[in-house]
Structure formats: C-alpha cells, structure tokens
Amino acid sequence: MHLSRQAEPLYRELAAVLRDELQRIPPGEYLPAEVQLAARFAVNRHTLRRAVDELVLEGRLLRQQGKGTRVLAMPLIYPMQAGSAFTASLSALGHKVEAQLLGRLVRPASQDDLGYLQLPEGMQLLELTTLRLIEGQPVSLIRHAFSLAHAPLLADYQGGSLRQYLIQRDLPLTRTFSLIGARLPSREEATRLLMPRHAPLLSVLTLSRDLAGQPVELSFSTSRADRFQYQLAL
C-alpha cells in the first residue's frame, strides 16, 4: 500500500491511515513489526516511527519494551456521582472490571488526612491499595485510607469492589467531595499502569461519608488520562 505525497507531512498522513485501521483491531493486539509496516506503506522506518509516536501520544498505542506496540481501547467514561461505585458503574455499561488488592499497611495520618477524616492528632490510618483493570487493562491505582477503628471490618477484604464489600457489611458510603487534578506518574505508577513516564495521570482525592454524615474513607486515585475520563453530573 502506497501513500500519496501530499503537502501534509508524510508521517501525519500515515498516522491518519493507521488511526483508521486501529478501529478494526481488537484492543490488546500487537501491531506488526516496524520493518513490516514500513515495507507495507513504502516508507522508511523513521517516518513509520514518527507516525506511531503520534498514536502513542494520543493514547491509542502503547510501546512495551521487548514485546512490541500494543493497541489500546479508547478512553472509558466513568459517571462520577455521589453514590456511584467504580466497579458497579462500569460493569453496568458492559465492561469487565477487576479490582486487585495490592497491599495494606498502617501509616501515620498527615495533617490533611486528619482534617478530612476529622480525627485527632497522632492517629494512624489503615491504607489499602487497589489496582483497577478494565477488559484486563490496568487503568487506575487507588489508595483507600480509613481510621484504624474500621480495620476489623476490612480485615477480610481481598479484592473486588470495596464499596460493595462495605455495603454487604452495612456500611454504605456516599461521595461528598472530590478534587480532580493532573500530574506525571511516578516510576512505580507508570509500571503498574503500563504507561510512559511523560504521559499525564488524572488524580482524584475523594472523601466519602456514611449515612450519618460521618467521614469514613479518604481515597487517592491515579488514572491513565488516555484511558479514562470522568463525567460529572451538575
């Protein structure tokens, strides 16, 4: 297949062709090797690489060292509402959602933690770290912080929807405050989320309360900005 020689840079024309073809390739599949693609389009590898770079920056492709270039799904939209839960909301839209427990630890509460959770000085928190995957692809890391008073209730949690786990134990929570920002990922976050270090993360700090209005959970989520979007109901 040969590309036309237009006024537009050749690599951008090639990126447009590849962008269209990606719609017919299942997420998770790998592109053919660069040398094969360059031969197919009758371009040099430098031009091919620049075209692929465009799609990597758009979040449509992911380069994995030693494996190749992987096709990513388009960004998912999460409807963020007071009572919405990550797993339940996206499962209802037909997505396969997993929540893996990566670890739990007890740590000192910061001044911000104490203020949000309305705890006295010197308190410690139980922090659970979960990794959320959609269709087998990692999209979010979440740190859930609770006062140690809730540690016995959370002792049996081993993964899955944390909100559903708490509902089953008569502790339904409602989101009452969220602060959304953006930043670059740490090395660990980039590794966990299979993303380049130069790509942005969406960060969300969320405070959730029980039915009596008492603050219970302070969560800190970091999500791939190219894979995940938040929809706010105003």
- pLDDT of amino acid 234: 60
The chain-wide mean pLDDT, for the chain, equals: 88
pLDDT tens digits for range 155-207: 999 999 999 999 999 999 999 999 999 999 999 999 999 888 888 899 999 99
As a CATH number, domain 10-71 is 1.10.10.10
Q: How many angstroms separate the CA atoms of 104 and 128, rounded?
A: 4
- pLDDT of amino acid 1: 52
| Fold annotation for 76-232 | Chorismate lyase (3.40.1410)
pLDDT tens digits for range 202-233: 999 999 999 999 999 999 999 988 777 777 66
Higher pLDDT, 114 or 57: 114
- pLDDT of amino acid 198: 86
- pLDDT of amino acid 4: 54
- pLDDT of amino acid 75: 66
Q: Which of 26, 173, 207 is nearest to 88 (CA)?
A: 173
Q: What tokens does 175 get?
A: 């989101």
CB 199 within 8 A of CB 139: no
Kindly list the distances between the CA atom of residue 34 and the CA atoms of 41, 46, 56, 162, 170, in Å, as whole numbers in the listed order: 11, 10, 14, 42, 55
Domain boundaries, the chain: 10-71, 76-232
- The predicted model scores a pTM of 0.70
pLDDT tens digits for range 52-69: 998 887 778 888 888 899
